[in-house]
Amino acid sequence: MSKQDFNPNEIGEKIIEVIKTIYDPEIPVNIYELGLIYDVLVNEDFDVKIIMTLTTPNCPVAETLPVDVQDKVKTIKGIKSVDVEMTFEPPWTQDLMSDEAKLELGIL
């Protein structure tokens, strides 16, 4: 892929597809639908920055989930680097979940 082939929307969609294959081990919903992904940024050099959170700061997968996200997104053809930044601002709440996730968990 060259810079002239760069389509941030296309790369962004691929990244979201991959992220949707990653599940929180305690909740049977993928982390994208849970609302744990706050932002996905892609620059023209194919460097990716993902800003994400966890359901709680003490989440048992705090060490492994960001690494899992980074490793899986790196497998997308054309991506040069992936940086996953953890944040707890704003704190995660159930309001961040998609309607699909809420239905899956019986909240809607």
Interval 49-83: pLDDT, tens: 999 999 888 888 888 999 999 999 999 999 999 99
Q: Is residue 102 part of a domain?
A: no
Prior bond to 25 cis, omega within 30? Answer: no
Distance between CA atoms of residues 48 and 42, nearest Å: 5
Range of the domain at 62: 3-88
Q: Is residue 98 part of a domain?
A: no
Sheet holding 47-52, edge to edge: 37-42, 47-52, 81-86
Q: Is residue 20 part of a domain?
A: yes
Q: What pairs with residue 37 in β-bridges?
A: 52
Distance between CA atoms of residues 2 and 12, nearest Å: 16
Distance between CA atoms of residues 32 and 12, nearest Å: 13
Q: What is the Cα 44 distance to its own chain's centre?
A: 20
Q: Is the pTM of this model over 0.85?
A: yes
Q: Number of folded domains in the chain?
A: 1
Q: Is residue 16 part of a domain?
A: yes
| pLDDT greater than 60 at residue 3 | no
Q: Is residue 71 part of a domain?
A: yes
Q: Is residue 94 part of a domain?
A: no
Q: Is residue 40 part of a domain?
A: yes
The candidate with the shortest Cα–Cα distance to 54, out of 30, 29, 36, is 36
Q: Is residue 96 part of a domain?
A: no
CATH of the domain at 22: 3.30.300.130
